[in-house]
Amino acid sequence: MKTRYSFGGDEHIFVEVDEEMSLDAFFKSLSMTNAVRNSNIPGVTEICPANASFQVKFDPDRIHPDDMMAELKKLESAAENAEKRLTTRIIEIPVFYNDPWTHETLMRFRERHQDPNGTDLEYAARINGFDSVDDFITAHHSTPWFVSMVGFVSGLPFLYQLVDRERQLQVPKYLRPRTDTPRLTVGHGGCFACIYSVRGAGGYQMFGITPMPIYDPEQKVRHLKDFMVFFKPGDIVKYKPIDRTEYDRIVAEVEAGTYAPRIAEVEFDLDAFNADMEGVNAKLKEALYVG
């Protein structure tokens, strides 16, 4: 991987670890952002991590941009040799696939889609070589996903599928973005899944919806009382397909303040994952249901 450094005006430096998203690039980017944070470089005011890159904002009155660039480059070699191991959590996210709300929305915007005569799931299944929508949905929820970035809008996670590159589900975004997307839509664009934290415009394909809130600025939802944003980079997600009855039950529990997501603490070792993806994924999923 060839890291690229570039200035963004006189207050930012953008560091691109790799042009393509990969777990190796993510871990190097994570190590570098941690190193920047721990180094306490004078003048650094903000560190913004992304999928395989990050941006540093600094005060040019306290540190010259060239000096800031030099400080960041010093940290790269240490990041390359950093341990690729992460203590994190795996979270079960219930998903009502092919739900009526995203279906109604996607039908309103068919003229902006590659396939005006089908649905987003039908299109995704076809271009990924699946015989049916059900087969595609199974491929979507059967393997874990890695949260590589949170942002774009508040609380929105970008998720990278934990499979080898040849098996990754890939679907292009809409030809033109929609002006509406239901809150908590489970979407997909390129190789990334996402969950729309709020209602609004969007261009990702829509596969379903979750009843589990992931962003609450008022912090009234039980599992968001400590922090308004649920996800953080490094989290691992396991989607669980549910039906309308289960969806309504969880919505009622959220409103009653009794709903608690299923979460387990896990160790994720990148080298172990690269050596045995199926075995590591099986252990990750097992951790959710132990005890």
- Print pLDDT tens along the chain (291 aa): 588 999 988 899 999 988 888 888 888 888 888 889 889 899 999 998 888 889 999 999 999 999 999 999 988 877 777 778 899 999 999 999 999 999 999 999 999 999 999 999 999 999 999 999 999 999 999 999 999 999 888 899 999 999 998 899 999 999 999 999 999 999 999 999 999 999 999 999 999 999 999 999 999 999 999 999 999 999 999 999 999 999 999 999 999 999 999 999 999 999 999 999 999 999 999 999 885
Structure tokens at 13: 């430096």
Look up the CATH number of domain 4-82. Answer: 3.30.1360.40
Residue 289: its pLDDT value, please? 86
Give the whole-angstrom CA distance, residue 291 versus residue 282. 16
> Is 51 exposed, middle or buried, given 0-12, 13-18 or 19+ CB atoms closer than 10 A?
buried
Residue 102: its pLDDT value, please? 98
Structure tokens at 216: 């609450």
CB atoms within 10 A of CB 116: 12
Give the whole-angstrom CA distance, residue 164 versus residue 51. 17
Residue 1: its pLDDT value, please? 59
Structure tokens at 93: 């996210």
The closest alpha carbon to 98, from 114, 122, 130, 115, belongs to 122
Sheet of strand 12-16: strand arrangement: 4-8, 12-16, 53-58, 44-49
> Is 72 exposed, middle or buried, given 0-12, 13-18 or 19+ CB atoms closer than 10 A?
buried
* CATH class of domain segment(s) 87-289: mainly beta
Q: How far is CA 182 from the centre of its chain?
A: 18
Triad 275, 278, 79: Cα angle to 5°: 40
CA distances from 91 to 20, 179, 240, 270 (A): 26, 30, 10, 19
In this structure, what DSSP letter does residue 23 have? H
Strand partners, 150: 157
Continuous H helices in the chain: 23-39, 65-80, 100-108, 120-127, 133-141, 244-256, 270-275, 277-289
Kindly report, as residue ranges, where domains of CATH 2.40.100.10 are found in the chain: 87-289
Contact 63, 43 (CB under 8 A): yes
Kindly report, as residue ranges, where domains of CATH 3.30.1360.40 are found in the chain: 4-82
